[in-house]
Chains A and B, each alone.
Chain A
Amino acid sequence: MVRLGLQLTLRAGREAIVRLVLTAAAVAIGVTVLLAVFAGYHAFQATSGRACWECTQAAPARSPASHLELWNYSENIYQGRFIEEVDVAALGPDAPLLPGLTKLPGAGQFYASPALADLLKTVPRDELGQRFAGTEVGTIGYQALSGPTDLVAIVGYSPPKLAALPGTIKVDHISTTKDVQGTTGIYRLAFGIGAIIVLFPLLVLINTATRLAAARREERFAAMRLVGATPRQVNLIATVEAVVGALLGTLLGTGVFLAWRPVLASISFSGQRFFLQTLTPTALGYAVLIVGVPMAAAVASLWSLRRVRLSPLGVSRKVSPPAPTFWRLVPLLAGIPLFVVPLLGIRNSLNSNNPQISPLIFVGLFLIMAGLVMSGSWLTMQVARALGRTARGGSALLAARRLADSPKTAFRAVSGLVLAVFVGSLLAAIVPVFSYAESTLGGNAASLTNVMRAPYDAGPGLELPPARATTLVRELGAYKGVSVVPIYANPSFNAQLMFGPAPSSPTGSHHEPAEQGQSPGGYAQYDSIISCASLRQMPALGKCAPGVSAVYANANNDILTDNPLEIDMPVVTANNPAAPSNTAGLGVGTLLVKANSSATLEKARTLLTLFDATMPMSSAGGLTAWQMGQLEPETFGEMAEIRNNDVTNAETVALAVVGLTLLVAACSLAVTAGGSIVERKRPFTLLRLSGAPGRTLYRVILLESLLPLVTAALVAAATGVGVAIPLVKALPKLRNEPNLALPGPVYYVAMGVGLLVALAVISSTLPVLARVTQPDNARFE
């Protein structure tokens, strides 16, 4: 019987082959997307679970000398991209080795990550290469990196030289704790949600594909019953047919995925590309698909035959499925509290190193989506019945009765799109909240986009000393197109920090001149002094009062904030009190550097980086610069961009999820609409012969898809926005963003475009309708 099933599947003429090809193609699309999701999840898990070697701590004093190593971690930037640098020097034969290396670099050698190595080959040395002392001797393996775009250098030093650098510590092992970042918990949550969201329409697609042209198939089975086949034999043949199509589709999908994997690896996902090595489903993932999909297809096929009485006289006695009842709303109504309640208490957990996310959230989400799909058929039936009672045209009547008769079948085709609407609405309500918190520089701050700040204020009295500052400003000024604004530390401010407020001294510092309007306390409330002449190079910072050569200002503190949106601009106005015109003896807290090109900017950054290395940075308590939150020279634009990345990445993930869902759902819709036309070839053709215009039948097909889609999409959109409220409340706050922002115009445009895509997909099946109902092709038995 299996052999007969194979023969009927593979060698039963054109129609059987077309059905097989269509089934296999639809399953292949589903399997490709599913494998991509599995692979992405695996890669994400591997990345988010990699050892955080950056977190390496100073060794305790009792550590054996043979295991010790000098370690100095710092960060740098090249054109907005972070570079991680570790300077190392082995102190003993068993000095710990970083992941991704086979041996530590010797003095004057360094290893670079693949992306950094590529950059070093193409970028002039004074813009980047000079920042790393020594010769490149190898590439860092993927075990140490989060992705192929990571810029990392591991630089070898001689122990005396490295020990002299500020921030150097002794370590005896490399940290293997997980690299948990602030957004890891959020991404993990998003990935879980995304996987469920994509999985659902995939199952619908595979299910639909394996039941393609079921009516035609059932006629054939009835004919087999006529010649003596038992129901069991018919079921076996149906199973063989479904399994062959699904297996072919699975193998084809796996092949497409493997071919497409390098392309997938080149796509930036969550702001980071994945290594090809990690972007692969697990062996279990492959096994589940190759076994699971054909099995699921067999079950779907048998399930579809369950409602058909295949007597030897035909399949006309079709048992009508029971009409959906109000109980179909229960999963949706149960899912909402299951999703919302656990969310109320997870905010702190998301911020921790080991985010605990209650599985109930996923159960709730699954129930909400299952509920949307289940209640969709009930809603479809209600709307269809209402339309049937009032339909004035033939097409509306045909569509309404069909929908009311089999709302589950009708809705199944659009359930994927409805889920996409749910996800889109959910995200559209979440993303604007974060966009509110993180947006690009605007207003006066916009002119600072390409201005780099170099912080030298390591604490009161630890500014860049006057002589070194003069040298640095002179060296920077040597680059053509570079202008520099030094922001000097106000000695009175520092004295107050160190020794408390001055009692009643007429002057707070020996720097202060006896000028009119001068405060008795040396304007200790201002943390900095700025030369008015240098200020003119960056007008956005403000302007001094006429005739004043230097002013007191609160610039150092303001400008060192990590969110440029919070800088009060302008920093200087005519109201700022005049400061001593002679700034020669003042230490520099911050340098603002502006360059006329990105190449010059990088040259200046290289200089600042190298210069920085000789700075007396604090290493109190053995903390590394990484742990102290050392601020590397970066432009205000880069700061804003880095802060914006989380939002941008969230949007990318959201778009990827919604895009995949739409793709799968659109395939599902096309397969269903096409299958429905083929199944109803006879009544449609007879209607055409009886004078029903082609456009009437087109409208029937459109209405049958759009009515359930629009109805359920409205419910899905409302649910999505409603569910977003507790989710936004649960996520960590970045600023004082509101708990809910109504979706912006992009959302409405996206929904409109989605609807148009659905229309286009349905319309793509209309030529099939025109062809199968063409009177010239009519044949009647």
Chain B
Amino acid sequence: MSAVHVPSLTLPGPPDGPGYLVEARDVVKSFGETPALRGANLSVARGEIVAVMGPSGSGKSTLLHCLAGIFKPDSGEVWCDGQRVDRLDETKRTKLRRQCFGFVFQFGQLVPELSTADNVALPLLLNRVGRKQAYERAVYWLARLGLEGLEGRRSGELSGGQAQRVALARALVTKPTVIFADEPTGSLDSLTGEMVMDQMVDSARAEGATLVLVTHDARVAAFADREVVVRDGLVLDHQIVGVAG
């Protein structure tokens, strides 16, 4: 792994600054008549790894989506690196997600027609990075996550663990400030899930990225520096389980 050359990459992103990197303040979000978040608060420090736990339907995924600028809260504030995310229009939120965030979902996130190398290079191509550089970065990240030789495979030809690691490579390839992971091991067996989590946490720490992961699995949450529990649309308690960065 150490022998792999790391191609340089320059992407525009938010400047470094003191305090929390990501914050939700009294966030309220409903879907029709159904309330999902009822005044949720969460602060995540730069480089911190936070696990958001809770039972199904508690609002943990909604909280993650609000933090990531996917959902616009009905009320409350969402901050990221000093800017009000909830006040940004869709175009600016899209740009923020593309340039500063990385995403890993439970499954079905790879474009089936693309090879693994294409899938990983895609965010860079969307960011107008040159083709050669984009594929060099993609191959580098695939190798770093132990996926050498699979560059030409399609998602249908990968195991669940391999597909999640390709998704992780895709999330990391843009050198994001924050990685949002929603049940990243939900569709994997425990061994494979553990391997994926290992690589995700190691990579995030190595890249200095903040990781917000949603899970209902205590073993996954154990990888985080801190756990928060969401219940009935509220963030109930905080628990430090490790040391950031």
Confirm or deny: B47 has a beta carbon within 8 angstroms of a beta carbon on chain A.
no
Residues B99 and A775 in contact, CB atoms below 8 Å apart? no
Determine the distance from Cα of A690 to Cα of B70 in the docked complex, in whole angstroms.
9
- B91 CB contact (under 8 Å) in A390, A686, A693: A693
For window 87-132 of B, CB contacts with A under 8 Å fall at 90-91, 93-99, 101-103, 105-106, 108-115, 118, 121-123, 125-126, 128, 130-131
The answer to the question of B146 belonging to the interface, with a C-beta cut-off of 8 Å to chain A, is no
Which B58-75 residues have a C-beta within 8 angstroms of A? 61, 65, 68, 70-72
Contact B70 A775 (CB under 8 A): yes
Q: CA separation between A691 and B126, bound complex, in Å? A: 9
Binary contact track A396-415/B, C-beta < 8 Å → 1, others 0: 01100110111000000000
CB closest residue in chain A, given B108: A682
Known: A392-B130, A775-B70. A688 touches B94 (CB 8 A): yes
- Determine whether the beta carbon of B97 is less than 8 Å from that of A689: yes
Among B65, B110, B114, B128, point to the contact of A778 (Cβ < 8 A): B65
Q: Which size bracket describes the interface of A in this complex?
A: 20 to 34
A443 in contact (CB, < 8 A): no
Known contacts: A691-B99, A780-B105. The answer to whether A391 contacts B131 by CB under 8 A is: yes
Are A690 and B113 in contact, with the CB atoms below 8 A?
no
Q: Are A778 and B108 touching (Cβ within 8 A)? A: no
Could you tell me if B65 and A686 are in contact, using CB atoms closer than 8 angstroms?
A: no
- Give A398 to B97 CA distance when docked, in angstroms: 19
Chain B residues near A391: list those with CB within 8 A: 125, 131
Is there contact, CB below 8 Å, between A689 and B103? yes
List the A side residues contacting B94 at CB < 8 Å.
688, 691-694
Q: Across the interface, do B70 and A397 meet the contact criterion of CB distance under 8 Å?
A: no
Q: How far is the CB of B115 from chain A (nearest CB, A)?
A: 8
Chain B residues within 8 Å of A393, by CB: 125-126, 128
Indicate if the CB atoms of B118 and A689 lie closer than 8 Å.
no
B7 located at the interface, meaning its Cβ lies under 8 Å from any Cβ of chain A in the complex: no
How far is it, in angstroms, between the C-alpha of A397 and the C-alpha of B91 when the chains are bound?
22
Interfacial chain A residues near B97, Cβ < 8 Å: 689-691
Question: B91 contacts which chain A residues (CB < 8 A)?
Answer: 693
Chain B proximity of A622: nearest CB distance (Å) = 79
Given A398-B114, A402-B113, answer yes or no on A317-B70 (Cβ-Cβ < 8 Å). no
Does chain A have a CB within 8 A of B77? Answer: no
Scan A750-781; emit 1 where CB is below 8 A from any B CB, else 0: 00000000000000000000000001101011
Within 8 A of B (CB), among A677-693: 682-683, 686-693
Nearest-neighbour CB distance to chain A for B128, whole angstroms, equals 7
Q: Does B23 interact with chain A (Cβ within 8 Å)?
A: no
Within 8 A of B (CB), among A366-398: 390-394, 397-398
The answer to whether A683 touches B108 (Cβ under 8 A) is: yes
Q: Specify which of B118, B123, B156 is in contact with A691 (CB 8 Å cutoff).
A: B123
Q: Interface residues of A: mostly helix, strand, loop or mixed?
A: helix
Q: Which residue of B lies closest to A693 (CB)?
A: B94
In this complex, the member of A690, A778, A780 whose beta carbon has the largest number of chain B beta carbons within 10 angstroms is: A690
A696 contacts chain B at the CB level, 8 A cutoff: yes
Taking the complex as formed, is A645 at the interface, i.e. its CB lies under 8 A from any CB of chain B?
no
- Roughly how many angstroms separate A694 CA and B61 CA in the complex, as a whole number? 23
- Decide if A397 touches B122 in the complex (CB within 8 Å): yes
Q: Which of A316, A317, A690, A776 meets B103, CB within 8 Å?
A: A690
Contact B156 A316 (CB under 8 A): yes
| A121 part of interface (Cβ distance < 8 Å) | no
Please, how many angstroms separate the alpha-carbon atoms of A689 and B71 in the complex?
Answer: 10
Q: Is the CB of A690 within 8 A of B114?
A: no
Query: Does A318 lie at the interface of the complex (its beta carbon under 8 Å from any beta carbon of B)?
Result: yes
User: Please, what's the 1-or-0 string for A305-320, where 1 marks a CB less than 8 Å from any CB in chain B?
Assistant: 0000000000011100
Per-residue CB contact flags for chain B residues 9-30 toward chain A (1 = under 8 Å, else 0) read 0000000000000000000000
Q: Counting CB contacts under 8 A, is B48 at the interface?
A: no
Complex Cα–Cα for A693 and B113 (A): 19
> Which residue of A has the minimal Cβ distance to B106?
A780
CB neighbours (8 Å) of B126 from chain A are 393-394, 691-693, 696
- What A residues does B65 contact at CB under 8 A? 775, 778
Q: Is the CB of A775 within 8 A of B71?
A: yes
Cα A775 to Cα B62 in complex, Å, equals: 12
Nearest CB in chain B: distance from A553 CB, A: 79
Using Cβ atoms and an 8 Å threshold, which residues of chain B touch A401? 111, 113-115, 118
Measured between alpha carbons, how far is A406 from B90 in the docked complex, in Å? 32
B86 at interface by CB-CB < 8 Å: no
CB closest chain-A residue, reference B132:
A392
B41 to chain A, nearest CB (A): 22
Chain A residues with Cβ below 8 Å from B156 are 316-318
Does the CB pair B125–A691 fall under 8 Å? no
B95 CB contact (under 8 Å) in A318, A686, A691, A776: A691
Cross-chain contact B182 with A394 (CB below 8 angstroms): no
Q: How far is it, in angstroms, between the C-alpha of A780 and the C-alpha of B68 when the chains are bound?
A: 15
Residues of B near A694 (CB, < 8 A) are 94
CB neighbours of B108 from chain A (8 A): 682-683, 686
Give the residue among B94, B96, B97, B121 with the most A Cβ atoms within 10 A: B94
Residues of B within 8 A of A404 (CB): 113
Complex-state Cα separation, A637 to B130, whole angstroms: 67
Do B105 and A686 touch across chains, with their CB atoms under 8 A apart? yes
CB neighbours (8 Å) of B115 from chain A are 401
- Report the separation of the CA atoms of residues A404 and B154 in the bound assembly, to the nearest whole angstrom: 13
* Among all A-B residue pairs, the 3 with the closest Cβ atoms: A691-B98, A691-B97, A394-B126
Q: List 19 A-B contacts (CB under 8 A).
A: A316-B156, A318-B156, A391-B125, A393-B125, A394-B122, A394-B126, A397-B121, A398-B111, A398-B122, A401-B114, A405-B113, A688-B94, A691-B94, A691-B96, A691-B98, A692-B126, A693-B95, A694-B94, A778-B65
Chain A residues packing against B (C-beta within 8 Å): 316-318, 390-394, 397-398, 401-402, 404-406, 682-683, 686-694, 696, 775-776, 778, 780-781
Known: A401-B118, A691-B101, A693-B94. 6 other contacts (CB 8 A): A392-B131, A682-B108, A683-B112, A690-B103, A694-B94, A775-B65
